[in-house]
Structure 1
């Protein structure tokens, strides 16, 4: 082989590698960094982690703890409950609502003070009311963490004060916790509130609380979540925003430039991982006589859209699911990773709302839907009763 031919061949080979390398780079979004010691960005609806930096590192989290405090209180108590402030709660150090011992306030109003003004006195009062004591409430917090699947978290108090090295979480865990909590309408309403006035039983004037979360005014579509700071944890922040029906959550721990970092990460997420509709409610599923019971969307890079596959799986006719109206499941995968499942039903199933059916040429009355829902609920209750252990 002549030297000229060899050189030409090598040049062609190098050009091919360059093209392949460029294509591979194009398959990934441009790199983005933060000033945070740890960070995470997730899509709320799907739970997909879009960016993570030391995401599983257990760290001090300051008042981001109050996200857990709020969701446990919302789920385990009534908003109309009257919370009485103890001496211990009134004397709590750090950020405060300046509540007085013996003062009473509704749980709802106290939650606003907890999340907007980061009141450590409110956190303690809530914990004592809901959990019987701060220690009892910590048990409830850790039980909820286990339920959600927070593998790198442990809670010992409701405020996030640096009282114990055993109180910690991670960026990925906090993103998962925020995504879970934001699906609760009460929690979402509280954390997106910029200002609220609350009755003050001790004075002639009302409390006026402004949200410390500056992202609510800095980023278009911002709707949460919580700021945090202690001397050991440094600046911590969880923010959320919704654009075009897609809600994202950003977490940064120990970040001296958190407002700017959250703005950049949110923009990056919306630009490169938009929510892509993959299935419409009532849409016929190829290879089956069934339709999708609900819509399905997923955040995808542009190069990932063609890598999503679906696999229908039918239930045996005698199965419980089939008797309840589900005829099967459509499993959606990105490459080999399962990203979601959608129930399959008959086109004429009352499980589909009449309006949705009409859009696809199906007909059903409201009476049909009501009757189906009542029968289905009764059957499920009966089955649970039969399967529950005796007491």
Structure 2
């Protein structure tokens, strides 16, 4: 009986190890390239050929929208449609030459119904011509660290010099989420605007709980492309698939894996007292310090974060104002730094040393 019990326990142990191994291996997708990342920290939770350069179709329009709002943040401004912006190949919001509508309406047409005419109109209006705007797109890609991407147009139509990777598009998706205007637009299911009724092509907004939208794409050569975002339990995740015939199903599977395998851990809160930090020019030479920023990170079961402090090399001398940086708190996982926050003075620090008397100052002056 004891041998049987021991054997059963051993079998359960092996099965648990195998099960955890399957979970760690994440999911298999139908995509040629795929990636799942934490939107806030950038941690990669799953990847499959994520650095392979491929055609990306209309998910290009995330970059078009980001460049537009950064160069022209007044999205309420009216745009008069030029003839050359109409009748563009592919999907359309059916712009008419001479009509006036807001830049905001064009952005909704760009991101919800994937209007290629809207992409050209946005580019022409913001930069004066499409070529200049495409140059801005490539500049922004470089700023975001999208080293394996290049744009040749604002709409994603096939071009040999127009490509990106799943990893680069995840970087772009994170940037789009940080822009409040665009985060609102990509999460909109439908809207009546500029005399049009626009419905979002992203079915995940209806199919997956917590989906925050993003952008679909398709051409015959690129296949189906999709960038999406979902939030649950304090985690915001971004999934990207390129050339994926089952993208809705695959994104749901990626999110199911991410939300089940990882938990958002709060590592620091802005304004929370951390302890004492060194300050010159005071009797105690120490003063209360607090963390200046929120820091969170997705962790798997069993992972633990280590912390270390780096104080400023040259100590600031009192008097000092609250909020003065005196060092930084770093968080590491397996020896790699995964986040940090400045450590700042919680209160004003006064010079409380006893001041020398007149004769002492006079003798010091003589010397």
TM range (shorter): 0.7 to 0.9
The CA deviation at 1:74 is 0.9
The CA deviation at 1:217 is 0.2
Q: What is the match of residue 263 of structure 1?
A: 252
Contact preservation (8 Å) 2:23, 2:261: no
**TM-score when normalising by structure 2:** 0.83
Instruction: Output the CA distance in 1 between the equivalents of 2:234 and 2:198.
Output: 29
Instruction: Output the CA distance in 2 between the equivalents of 1:287 and 1:142.
Output: 46
Q: Which runs of 4+ in 1 moved over 6 A?
A: none
Distance change in 2, residues 1:209/1:23 (3 Å): closer
From 308, 326, 338, the counterpart of 1:311 = 308
Q: What is the match of residue 383 of structure 1?
A: none
Contact preservation (8 Å) 1:221, 1:241: yes
Distance change in 2, residues 1:23/1:268 (3 Å): closer
Q: Between Structure 1 and Structure 2, whose CA radius of gyration is higher?
A: 2
Q: What is the match of residue 346 of structure 1?
A: 345
Q: What is the match of residue 215 of structure 1?
A: 204
Distance change in 2, residues 1:95/1:309 (3 Å): same
Q: What is the match of residue 192 of structure 1?
A: 187
Q: What is the match of residue 48 of structure 1?
A: 43
Instruction: Output the CA distance in 1 between the equivalents of 2:110 and 2:118.
Output: 6
Unaligned runs of 5+ in 2: 1-9, 278-287, 350-367
Q: What is the match of residue 138 of structure 1?
A: 134
User: Which structure has greater strand proportion?
Assistant: 2
Unaligned runs of 5+ in 1: 1-14, 200-205, 351-391
Instruction: Output the CA distance in 1 between the equivalents of 2:105 and 2:348.
Output: 43
From 69, 77, 80, the counterpart of 1:74 = 69
Instruction: Output the CA distance in 2 between the equivalents of 1:278 and 1:181.
Output: 25
Q: Verify: 1:181 aligned to 2:176, yes or no.
A: yes
Superposition RMSD on alpha carbons, in Å?
2.3
Instruction: Output the CA distance in 2 between the equivalents of 1:281 and 1:335.
Output: 25
Q: What is the match of residue 80 of structure 2?
A: 84
Distance change in 2, residues 1:297/1:23 (3 Å): farther
The CA deviation at 1:224 is 1.1
Deviating more after overlay: 284-293 vs 95-104: 284-293
Contact preservation (8 Å) 2:26, 2:46: no
Deviating more after overlay: 290-299 vs 228-237: 290-299
Distance change in 2, residues 1:259/1:82 (3 Å): same
**SS of equivalent to 1:303:** coil
Q: What is the match of residue 153 of structure 2?
A: 157
Instruction: Output the CA distance in 2 between the equivalents of 1:144 and 1:68.
Output: 8
Q: Verify: 1:61 aligned to 2:61, yes or no.
A: no
Q: What is the match of residue 108 of structure 2?
A: 112
**1:344-377 Cα shifts (integer Å, max 9, x gaps):** 1223269xxxxxxxxxxxxxxxxxxxxxxxxxxx
Contact preservation (8 Å) 1:38, 1:254: yes
Contact preservation (8 Å) 2:26, 2:257: no
The CA deviation at 1:83 is 1.9
**SS of equivalent to 1:101:** coil
**SS of equivalent to 1:310:** strand
The CA deviation at 1:198 is 1.1
**TM-score when normalising by structure 1:** 0.78
Q: What is the match of residue 238 of structure 1?
A: 227
Contact preservation (8 Å) 1:84, 1:125: no
**SS of equivalent to 1:156:** coil
The CA deviation at 1:46 is 0.6
Report the count of equivalent residues.
322
Within a 5 Å distance, the mapping from 1:23-34 to structure 2 comes to 29-34=24-29
Instruction: Output the CA distance in 2 between the equivalents of 1:24 and 1:280.
Output: 35
Instruction: Output the CA distance in 1 between the equivalents of 2:25 and 2:47.
Output: 14
The CA deviation at 1:144 is 0.3
From 163, 170, 194, the counterpart of 1:168 = 163
Distance change in 2, residues 1:253/1:75 (3 Å): same
Instruction: Output the CA distance in 2 between the equivalents of 1:188 and 1:280.
Output: 24
**1:258-291 Cα shifts (integer Å, max 9, x gaps):** 1000001011111112211122334443674422
Contact preservation (8 Å) 1:27, 1:303: no
